[in-house]
Amino acid sequence: MKKVTFKTSGAEATIELRDGVIVKSRVPKRYRVKEIDGRLRRERTKIETKLIAEARKSGVPTPIIYDVMNCEIRMEYIDGAQLKQGLDAGLSERVGELVGRLHTTGIVHGDLTTSNMILSGERIYLIDFGLAYFDQSTEARGVDVHVLFQTFESTHEGHETLIKAFVKGYRKTFGGADDVLQRVKEIESRGRYRTERL
């Protein structure tokens, strides 16, 4: 019998560590027709697997995929600490470089938070591509970066320094960085406008 070291559940999937291997299983949704639900879960699992592989090809460290079967992904366990447990300007600049590579490839992560980044040795790994998708629009990339900046502000001290460091790294690896960063400012102003109207 395989040993389960830990198990956690989210809205879309359960994640278990079984004998040193991460197993991510998309959970059935009872409100959907069974056949449609099965097809959607298989398709999303296949897409997530492809996105992880493409990100890795672009120079972004991600877990190695061992196997994919139906709605289950078996992948490498990354032993390290989430960046939410400790982020400095140097690490933030490196995150900027990784996100720049990701965006250059046309991938939007969809959940860019420091909970989905693991520092293992000298490498920063991006994990959880469950909400990721292919999109080369400035808007999609802007939302991706905006989510990360919100995480900096709500979770980490000295968020302004972290943002500046991220921007430096992002510009190194992504040619359209300035357009995206301008869009981030527009997205922030939209949020302020909505808040003021409430």
Active site residues: 111
Q: Please tell me the chain's helix, strand, coil percentages from 3-state DSSP, rounded to the nearest 5.
A: 50, 20, 30
Q: Which residue's structure tokens are 């357009």?
A: 179
Residue appearing with tokens 């109207």:
197
Asked if residue 132 lies in contact with residue 110, where contact means CB atoms within 8 angstroms, the answer is yes
Residue 154's H or E segment, with its range, is helix 138-155
What whole-number distance in Å separates Cα of residue 159 and Cα of residue 58? Answer: 28
Contact status, residue 6 vs residue 17, Cβ threshold 8 Å: yes
Could you tell me which residues are beta bridge partners of residue 16? 7, 23
